[in-house]
Structure 1
Amino acid sequence: MTAAPSLSWPAETAPHDRLWLAFPTGGYTLGDTAADAHEARQMWADVAAAAADFEPVTVVVDPSQVEVAARYLRDDIETVVAPLDDAWMRDIGPTWVRDGSGGLTAIDWVFNGWGAPAWATWGKDALIAQTVAATAGTPVVSSLLVNEGGAIHTDGEGTVLVTETVQLDQGRNPHATRERVEAELARTLGARKVIWLPRGLTRDYEEFGTRGHVDMVATLPSPGTLLLHVQRNDAHPDFEVTRELRAFFEGQTDASGRRFDIVELPAPDALTDDEGPVDYNYVNHVVVNGGVIACAFGDRVADERAAGILADAYPGRRVVSLDARPLFARGGGIHCITQQQPAASPA
Structure 2
Amino acid sequence: MSWRMPAEGARQERLWLAWPTGGYTLGDTAEEAEEARRTWAAVANAAAGFEPVSVVVHPRDVDLVARYLDGSIEVFVREIDDAWIRDSGPTFVVDDEVPGSLGAVTWTFNGWGGQEWASWQHDSTLGPAVADWAGAERIDSPLVNEGGGIHVDGAGTVLVTETVQRDPGRNPGITRKAVEAELARTLGTTTTIWLPRGLTRDSSTFGTRGHVDIVATIASPGRLLLHDQRDQAHPDFAVSAELRAALSEARDAAGRLFEIVDLPAPEVLRDEEGFVDYSYVNHVLVNDGVIACAFDDPRDADALAILRDAYPGRTVTAVDARPLFARGGGIHCITQQQPAV
**TM-score when normalising by structure 1:** 0.97
Q: Letter of the aligned partner of 1:36 in structure 2?
A: E
Report SS of the residue matched to 1:71: coil
Structure 2 CA distance, aligned partners of 1:206 and 1:234?
19
Task: Tell me how large the CA RMSD over aligned residues is.
Answer: 0.7
Q: Letter of the aligned partner of 2:234 in structure 1?
A: H
Structure 2 CA distance, aligned partners of 1:87 and 1:30?
10
Structure 1: state its 5+ residue gaps.
Answer: none
Q: Letter of the aligned partner of 1:79 in structure 2?
A: V
Instruction: Give the counterpart of 1:187 among 185, 204, 207.
Output: 185
Which aligned pairs between 1:14-29 and structure 2 lie closer than 5 A?
14-29=10-25
| Residue matched to 1:11 | 7
| Residue matched to 1:279 | 277
Report SS of the residue matched to 1:42: helix
| Residue matched to 1:245 | 243
Structure 1 CA distance, aligned partners of 2:204 and 2:56?
28
Q: Letter of the aligned partner of 2:36 in structure 1?
A: A
| Residue matched to 2:69 | 73
CA shift at 1:331, angstroms? 0.3
Report SS of the residue matched to 2:44: helix
| Residue deviations 1:195-248 (CA, integer Å, cap 9, x gap) | 000000000121110001000000011000000001000000000100111111
Structure 2 CA distance, aligned partners of 1:311 and 1:80?
33
| Residue matched to 1:163 | 161
| Residue deviations 1:268-317 (CA, integer Å, cap 9, x gap) | 11000011000011000000000000000001x31110110000000000
Q: Are 1:86 and 2:89 matched, yes or no? A: no
CA shift at 1:67, angstroms? 1.0
Report SS of the residue matched to 2:182: helix
Aligned length in residues: 339
Report SS of the residue matched to 1:132: helix
Structure 1 CA distance, aligned partners of 2:294 and 2:43?
12
| Residue deviations 1:66-124 (CA, integer Å, cap 9, x gap) | 11212111111110001100000100111011113141100000000000011211010
| Residue matched to 1:39 | 35
Q: Which moved more, 1:66-75 or 1:52-61?
A: 66-75
| Residue deviations 1:125-160 (CA, integer Å, cap 9, x gap) | 011111111011111010000000000010010100
Structure 1 CA distance, aligned partners of 2:120 and 2:206?
14
Instruction: Give the counterpart of 2:307 among 307, 310, 313.
Output: 310
Structure 2 CA distance, aligned partners of 1:125 and 1:64?
16
Q: Letter of the aligned partner of 1:28 in structure 2?
A: Y
| Residue deviations 1:34-63 (CA, integer Å, cap 9, x gap) | 000000000000000000000000000001
| Residue matched to 1:135 | 133
Q: Letter of the aligned partner of 2:55 in structure 1?
A: V
Runs of 4+ in 1 over 2 A off after TM superposition: none
Q: Letter of the aligned partner of 1:98 in structure 2?
A: V
Report SS of the residue matched to 2:250: coil
Structure 2 CA distance, aligned partners of 1:232 and 1:119?
31
Structure 2: state its 5+ residue gaps.
Answer: none
| Residue deviations 1:176-198 (CA, integer Å, cap 9, x gap) | 11010000001111110000000
Structure 2 CA distance, aligned partners of 1:165 and 1:37?
31
Report SS of the residue matched to 2:75: strand
Structure 1 CA distance, aligned partners of 2:165 and 2:237?
24
| Residue matched to 2:45 | 49
Which aligned pairs between 1:312-327 and structure 2 lie closer than 5 A?
312-327=309-324
Structure 2 CA distance, aligned partners of 1:296 and 1:261?
24
Report SS of the residue matched to 1:169: coil
The percent of aligned pairs where both chains have the same amino acid is: 64
Report SS of the residue matched to 1:304: helix
| Residue matched to 1:268 | 266
CA shift at 1:175, angstroms? 2.9
